[in-house]
A and B are shown apart, each in its own frame.
Chain A
Amino acid sequence: MLLSMNWISDFVDLSGLDRKALIRNFTLSTAEVEDIIEKGSDTYGVVVARIISVENHPSSKKLHLLKVDTGADVLDIVCGAPNVREGMKVALATAGGSVAGHPISVATVAGFTSYGMCCSEAELGISDDNSGIWEIADDIPLGTDIKSVYDIDDIIFEVDNKSLTNRPDLWSHYGMAREFATITGRELKSPALHSVAPYDSLPEVEVKVKATELVWRYSAIKVENITRRTSPVNMRIRLYYCGSRAINFLADLTNYVMMELGQPMHAFDMRKVDKIEVQTFDKEFNFTTLDGVERLIDDRMLMITSGDEPVAVAGVMGGDASKIDDDTTSLLLESATFDGVSVRKTTTRLGLRTDASMRYEKMLDPELCRLATERLLEILLRLDGGARVISSFTDAYVNRYPTITLDFDKRYVDRYTGINIPNETIVKTLTGLGFGVKLEGDSFTVTVPSWRATKDVTIKADIIEEITRIYGYDNFDVFTSESALLPVRKETLKSEEDRIKDILVKSYRLHEVHSYIWSDAQKDKELGIETERGMRIINAQTPDHQYIRTTMIPTLLSFAKENKTYADTYGIFEIGHTVNGVRENGLCLEKSKLGTVLYSKTESEESLFMQCRDIVAEIVSDILHSTAVFESAECEYGFMHPTNTFAILVDGVRIGTLSVPHPTVLANIDKKCAVAFFELETELLAAREIKKIRYSEPSRFPGMDIDLTFNADISAVNLFALESLAMSVAGEYLTAVRVKDIYTAEGVSALTLRFSFVSTERTLTRGEVQESVDKILGAFAAEGLTLKN
């Protein structure tokens, strides 16, 4: 929103203060200032002058040769404007002067000397009218500096609208002036008003509010015999500087009052609208708004009607048919407060946001309705002496906000601020902002002004903000808290995930990646993966992204493919969330999972698979001090390889899956490459009970290693099972079973295991060890494993 410092100065005297510095500091106490624009400072040496003769240029059709009287001199001027005429008063920029930064000097134009320039409004930067030169009112004496009669000099600043979301009162110059008055400690002046009380005896306007739940207040008054057509120059300049084009006197006037007091107003042409109903319709219909656009009105949009004829979208925009024309002389003036939520929803559905709707959305103060009417009448009657009020101020005040009173004491303020702000400062600040303040001892009773009570200030803590922002956060003394020292806890899952990342990055040199929580159907398709139809996002930006992923692996396979040119061999992982169905209560079953994919152009798939196996084993061993067990399992997804998919179990609980891609998926990743992957549910890792380290003293006696080679089908043998079998039959001296060697050749394969024996009490004899070995051999033979000769 653009604000004029001249306009604000109507209500607070800021003389003697650095106004630009004030605006900059406004960011710290009230709302963010985005820009400060100095108007008029690069325009000077422009005076009022009269054209005393006009001659056509001998060779140019456009140019005229003028003699212009500045009161002191008569100057020759070459001018290209079409509207020049003898006797016209103009704004003449004289040599040595400047017009909006363009220096003016004596120049030769098309063979004639020109001693200055007649300016258009656009050239002076006070409107966008460049159709001709600006005609100055006849009553202004020649030679007058144009800037001494017109408010070309101004400081305009732009406030970020977002930072005013909660401040309906600041969508106006008057509200802003109240802030400046409080910040500077100066007095806030009331706007001049024309009381409507004397018209109470006149007939009422016919106003009927049907949709009472969407309206706080609807007031109207009728005025006739208005003859003025254009706004005064200074009013037009202010409107233009604040981003609004001058239209005609009545339209400008409603805009002006809205910008000044924050109350949107609408002027209906009384010839077309002489009574008011406020209602919604139960059917859809088309309605042309005053911008000439036909819009579809639905059953939730609040409409103003005259009889049953729709004449405006309440709080948004008036209708084209009932708008003020150049020949309008009588009007029905609306000053109303509509429900903010309803207006916001209407603007969203219409795709139409206006200066009025933006203000209504913020929850306007209904008390403004009468004030704004009285302000508008004051200006109207001052500028158009013939205008006549012909109705009473008709006021349908259907809903009222309650008055809010808040009690608190000095201790409350001290506790919140952590510093000592004196009672007098608190009283002065709150009073300046319009709060009613009663102080007894250290106890405050504060009445919230109506313009802050619509939603902004409702509780004690809101008062703290008012006190502290005006006090200034830069003025705060800064202290650490007096809180007790307590041990720092770290959520288990988070710690475990951090450890997993360290293992993967440091021990296995993998790369961590991030992706999206939803599946990418397009990428899945490229890999030949069918996207799991999991939990659906109802407002996804594209249907390809509408399903929340159920597994981390497809995205990682896509990444593996996309990084083909990065290196011959690499591994990537991501810890992220998936949704695997819903719980009994209907909420998502959200899981945290680690997905890891290894890719290589040079290594075998089996080698990558074994590396995955090693990584899983290390994670389980590091985090749980336990052993991961792998069991052949059914494929959960079509992208997994039917032969080589394994469940990862810890103490009988499945925590994940180890697999390699289905051949069709692999072929889509790369023609010649190997890929292996695994997925772990990290929550299950964190939830599993960590095995405690139990120390056993190493034996002081020598141990004995026995290597035994068995005939065994390597692809079918289960080492985990063999190890536990040996352990269970061999007796106390067997401490470890390790794979020593694996031999495979055409049709035969053999497995050499090393059995380690030791006693903590003595050196074992051959006989004792042989006894154990015999038990192992017996048990293995029963499983079909025979000793190789």
Chain B
Amino acid sequence: MKDRIEALTASFGASLAEVADLDALEALRVEYLGKRGHLTELMKGLRDVADKKAAGQLINSFKVDVEAKIAERETALYEEAINAQIRRAKKYNPTLTFPREMGSYHPITLATREVEAIFESMGFTIENYAEIVGDYECFEALNIPKHHPARDMQDTYYLENGQLLKTHTSAAQNAIMKKYGAPLRAIFPGRCFRNESTDACHENTFFQMEGMMIDENISISNLIYFMKTMLSEVFNRDVKVRLRPGFFPFVEPGFELDINCEICGGDGCPSCKNSGWLELCPCGMIHPNVLREGGIDTEKYTGFAFGLGLTRLAMMRYGIKDIRDFNSGSLKALSQFKSI
């Protein structure tokens, strides 16, 4: 038995040395450790051996030795195979791929979302409203009676059924007051229309965002606070605001709100017509007639409202010089607005 094991040890050693790949190693394993392999044969031979214990130990140590060597060889061969696979692998070239083109949002969508997020964080509800409204919503409910010069200021598109294309987002004020009542904090972005000829600075279709805050004791002081805070967020800097009297029938007092010019820092430059200030948004304390028309108790509640030109804001924000680009449908222009 001992001789047989020694002979097998020698031939295993020789065979193992010749093994070149994992398949050959597997064949060798089967030859020695398989069901009909040499080890099984050796175990069968035990029947004829006197000192079964000693012979058994010999066989076992031979088995352990074979298993260990095969395992060791397997690891080596596996590593070699992996290395060979790595060496054979195709080298990729990342510069050769063309990234799939990304989609894009309309710049108005981006500007609107930005402003909406700011107001949402300040507790304002975001509302939606129709583009076609009646004379009542657009004028009458806003304290703009018939024959009022304010109606001349806004050249309105009228429809054959007597309705009109809304000339300002203020047209939604009445409906929103009636929908929620007071207290109320809401903004409502929307498309507006003015019947005028278009050029690089004028469009008949543009976007505004209206905002309203109504509660007990809302004051001019609050209005200044909210406008300053909101505009500082929008422009990402500590803006200075100033109010000056402005006439809009739906507010009293009414203001034009200016912010200090970013380009010159307030010293005066062509952008701000040398005044150091940029006219940005009309605002004011909501006229009692407007509140009353919206079903709000004017003895109990006051409120402010403002209108922000979203199209103008987007032009400032992205450096768009020609307002007609917004409705051009040109992807060379619009596809640039990718992120959100």
Contact = CB atoms under 8 A, between A and B. Distances in A.
B219 A415 contact: yes
Contacts of A701: none
Contacts of B104: 505, 511-512
Contact of A465 (B101, B221, B253, B340): B253
A165 B149 contact: yes
Interface in A455-480: 459-462, 464-465, 468-469, 473-474, 476-480
A705 interface: no
Nearest to A342: B147
B245 A513 contact: no
Contacts of A482: 217
A582 interface: yes
Contact of B242 (A461, A474, A493, A563): A474
B132 A577 contact: yes
Contacts of B229: 480
Contacts of A341: 147
The B interface is mostly helix, strand or loop, or mixed, namely mixed
Given A479-B222, A498-B113, A540-B157, A490 B125 contact: yes
Contacts of A582: 161
Given A419-B221, A478-B224, A509 B100 contact: yes
Give the interface residue-count category, chain A: 35 or more
Nearest to B150: A165
Contact of B335 (A473, A541, A555, A566): A566
A477 B226 CA distance: 13
B165 A486 contact: no
Contact of B106 (A415, A513, A587): A513
Give the interface residue-count category, chain B: 35 or more
A536 B256 contact: no
A635 interface: no
Nearest to B337: A512
B180 to A, nearest CB: 8
A468 B219 CA distance: 12
B160 A476 contact: no
A562 B147 CA distance: 43
B252 A462 contact: yes
Given A461-B285, A577-B130, A563 B331 contact: yes
B157 A539 contact: yes
A278 interface: no
A502 B109 CA distance: 11
A29 B124 CA distance: 31
Most buried by A among B104, B128, B195, B204: B128
Contacts of A515: 327, 329
B134 interface: yes
A587 B213 CA distance: 30
Interface in B140-165: 147, 149-150, 152-153, 157-163, 165
Contacts, number: 231
Interface in A499-541: 501-502, 504-506, 508-517, 535-541
Given A509-B100, A582-B161, A517 B193 contact: yes
Contacts of A491: 125-128
A539 B332 contact: no
A49 interface: no
A415 B126 contact: no
Contacts of A478: 221, 224-225, 228
A464 B125 contact: no
Interface in B120-140: 120, 123-128, 130-132, 134
Nearest to B327: A514
Contacts of A162: 153
Given A417-B220, A488-B120, A558 B106 contact: no
B185 A541 contact: no
A479 B161 contact: no
Contact of B219 (A167, A418, A566): A418
B131 A587 contact: no
Given A32-B256, A491-B128, A513-B329, A505 B219 contact: no
A361 B220 contact: no
A489 B163 CA distance: 29
A626 to B, nearest CB: 23
A465 B243 CA distance: 12
Nearest to A467: B253
A28 B332 CA distance: 43
Contact of A535 (B101, B160, B224, B247): B160
A416 B159 contact: no
B252 A588 contact: no
8 contacts: A417-B219, A479-B219, A483-B215, A513-B106, A536-B159, A566-B332, A570-B101, A590-B130
7 closest residue pairs by CB, A with B: A418-B219, A418-B221, A465-B253, A559-B329, A505-B103, A473-B243, A509-B103
Given A31-B245, A419-B220, A483-B183, 7 more contacts: A163-B245, A417-B220, A465-B253, A474-B242, A483-B123, A488-B126, A516-B327
